[in-house]
Structure 1
Amino acid sequence: MGSIVRVAAVQAEPVWLDLAGTTEKTLALIADAAGRGAQLVAFPETWLPGYPVFLWTHPVPEQLPFVARYHANSPAIDAPEILAIREAARRHGITVVIGLSEKAHGTLYMAQAIIGPDGEVVLHRRKLKPTHAERTLFGESDGSGLQVVDTPLGRVGALNCWEHLQPLVKFALYAQHEQIHVAGWPCFGIFGDHNSLGTEASMAITRTYAIEGGAFVVVASQILSDDGALVFAVDGTRPPIYTGGGGVARVFGPDGGLLTAPLDPHTEGLAIADIDLSQIDIAKAFADPVGHYSRPDVFTYAVDRTARTPAHVGAIDDPTLPHADLPAAVAETAAV
């Protein structure tokens, strides 16, 4: 593992509610990042097939056609579109962190996948707690995805959007000595910039993540253009969506410093930085919240990373099932 790593953060507009179109655009962005020497490229939250802005802007009855279209364009983790992205990562020898609306049978999850330069998925995780209106469309995850993984570039982790506002979720990754963190964000323009959902507040908590965790943070975000907003028209009427671009792609250093020049929030592009992992040692010499600056004698913290399933279906005497030690009649009922 070398000390210097070139990373790229995507700031772009998806082909809204169009899985095939957004996948094609993804492949082009991967090639662009690799052609510019990037070893890692990060995509925004639910990049495939775009963030569901209709959850915040439409009454529930008007959402239903968009919900149906969103389900139809949300890929399974083993879908052909994900396989194509994996192949692009392998072909270009680049690590890809992709955000997707993952379809698992009848439920959607706000997922992220870290794909190594060999095309293998080294981490598949889902947003632990969708935020506010998102909970009407997406399911929750268990703790199994709260992982930092070893890669040829260093120890890499990822979170979505307001997971960066949850102190215990963040600490779970800090405790695994994360070096490169991908922060996936949606299109901020829909919220304006005057509340806790806007750009200024969200970038403040992302910058705080870099300082607290002593990690490099690669921030990827979507753009919503005026033309893009027309996708969400109802009966030909453009919805009351504030667009304003909304892009915020950037890279923060472990001391909180901004390492990339700000991109125009209306313009697609890549925020690219050469990061020196040895700088983490300097940052953590001042404050390491999971090392010399911690107090485990005062505070106790545990993370349950057990993968959960809503039903255990199998033989009554299967020793891996939680009811295996129950009386047969009770176990039979528990297994159904």
Structure 2
Amino acid sequence: MNHIKVAVVQATPVFFDLEATLLKAENIIKEQASKGCNLILFPESFIPGYPRGFSFEAVVGKRDDEGRDLYLEYWKHSLEVGSEAFLKLEKTIKESGAYVVMGATEKEAGNGSLYCSMLYFSPEKGYLGNHRKIKPTGVERLIWAEASGESLITVDSKIGRLGGLICWENYMPMARASMYRQGVQLYLAPTADARPTWTSTMQHIACEGRCFVLAANQYFRKEDYPEKYRKYVSNEANDMCRGGSLIVSPMGEVIAGPLYDEEGVLTATLNLEDLIKSKLDFDVIGHYNRSDIFKLEVKDQPDPINENAVKENKTN
């Protein structure tokens, strides 16, 4: 398959509402798949929403009951792999015929910790695996635990080698290199960063890795929070996240976007032969790789997940 159609979703979740956000995601998946999209990428923590502006009532050396109650609510609406809600999403994806990479706050049964995750789904095999953020940024560390090297996954799929990092993980040079060394072709970067510098970062990664880069962000306004949560963000501007989603070629050229100040879906048809052409003069793991000087060791990073080796219904 030399040509694939991709979709980058810039949408507003139904915040703190797992069921409603899943329904919105499922409708988007069905619509974009019906338009011939082979790959659909959602933003960082689209399920159940990125808690922008929240402090969870914590300061250094002190937490209180109101913040703990708020965390419990966020935990309840986070996504658990293998749960009824998860299996419903997986079923929708398999019926759609598209690959989907979903940004979600993920919880584990019997574990009170949460993770900021990218969940990979195949239209044939369903759930393939997840990447959990290895370093949450700033106050994110209060609500999201850290993952280790085993979370730096890539996926061999029928549409190319998939991989990527979440938000400011993309500013970690060795984390990026861990993706490049696996031969990533479709680099996925769900984010919560709406600054203009994010576009430059995505262009740099595309040039550096000689890969297509897909970056998805939410569009979010203060009014999108349910009324009972708005007191926590009273000092924030109304436009809390302007978006900035985009698609970039292996030569660093912006193919679609950046999209600001509205919900929408960016689509593009990618010619995978452009990946080879871009490596005439630069190949980060090929003829530009000075293995006689540099050595990258990534503890516990797994080999690429082979889609064909994944058993169906592994979560049932």
TM-score range, shorter chain: 0.7 to 0.9
| Partner residue, 2:25 | 26
Give yes or no for contact 1:184–1:221 (8 Å, CA) kept in 2.
yes
Inter-partner Cα distance in structure 2 for 1:5 and 1:33 = 13
Inter-partner Cα distance in structure 2 for 1:30 and 1:233 = 29
Inter-partner Cα distance in structure 2 for 1:202 and 1:56 = 24
Inter-partner Cα distance in structure 2 for 1:28 and 1:91 = 12
How many residue pairs match? The answer is 293
In structure 2, the CA distance between the partners of 1:261 and 1:224, relative to structure 1 (3 Å rule), is closer
The answer on 1:284 being equivalent to 2:284 is no
Q: RMSD of aligned C-alpha atoms?
A: 1.9
The answer on 1:226 being equivalent to 2:236 is no
Q: Secondary structure at the match of 2:135?
A: coil
Q: What does 1:236-275 align with in structure 2 at a 5 Å threshold?
A: 239-244=234-239, 245-263=241-259, 265-275=260-270
The answer on 1:87 being equivalent to 2:91 is yes
Q: Secondary structure at the match of 1:248?
A: strand
Give yes or no for contact 1:58–1:239 (8 Å, CA) kept in 2.
no
Give yes or no for contact 2:214–2:248 (8 Å, CA) kept in 1.
yes
Normalization by structure 1: what TM-score? Answer: 0.83
Larger strand proportion of the pair = 2
The aligned amino acid for 2:99 is: T
List per-residue Cα deviations over 1:248-303 (Å, max 9, x = no partner).
Answer: 1221010111111443x222111000001100112111111111011111111111
Which is greater in Rg?
1
The answer on 1:207 being equivalent to 2:203 is yes
Q: What does 1:97-246 align with in structure 2 at a 5 Å threshold?
A: 97-104=101-108, 105-186=111-192, 188=193, 198-229=194-225, 231=227, 232-234=229-231, 239-244=234-239, 245-246=241-242
How far apart are 1:88 and its partner, in Å?
1.1
Candidates 63, 67, 74, aligned match of 2:71: 67
Inter-partner Cα distance in structure 2 for 1:119 and 1:242 = 43
In structure 2, the CA distance between the partners of 1:216 and 1:56, relative to structure 1 (3 Å rule), is farther
Q: Secondary structure at the match of 1:287?
A: coil
How far apart are 1:50 and its partner, in Å?
0.3
Inter-partner Cα distance in structure 1 for 2:118 and 2:258 = 25
The aligned amino acid for 1:201 is: T
Identity of aligned residues (%): 29
Could you list the runs of 5+ residues in structure 2 that have no partner in the other structure?
Answer: 303-316
List per-residue Cα deviations over 1:81-122 (Å, max 9, x = no partner).
Answer: 221121111101100000111112211011111100114222
How far apart are 1:141 and its partner, in Å?
0.4
Inter-partner Cα distance in structure 2 for 1:304 and 1:268 = 39
Give yes or no for contact 2:206–2:212 (8 Å, CA) kept in 1.
yes
In structure 2, the CA distance between the partners of 1:124 and 1:238, relative to structure 1 (3 Å rule), is closer
Give yes or no for contact 1:210–1:255 (8 Å, CA) kept in 2.
yes
Normalization by structure 2: what TM-score? Answer: 0.88
The aligned amino acid for 2:252 is: G
Runs of 4+ in 1 over 6 A off after TM superposition: none
The aligned amino acid for 1:44 is: P
Inter-partner Cα distance in structure 1 for 2:167 and 2:2 = 28
The answer on 1:304 being equivalent to 2:299 is yes
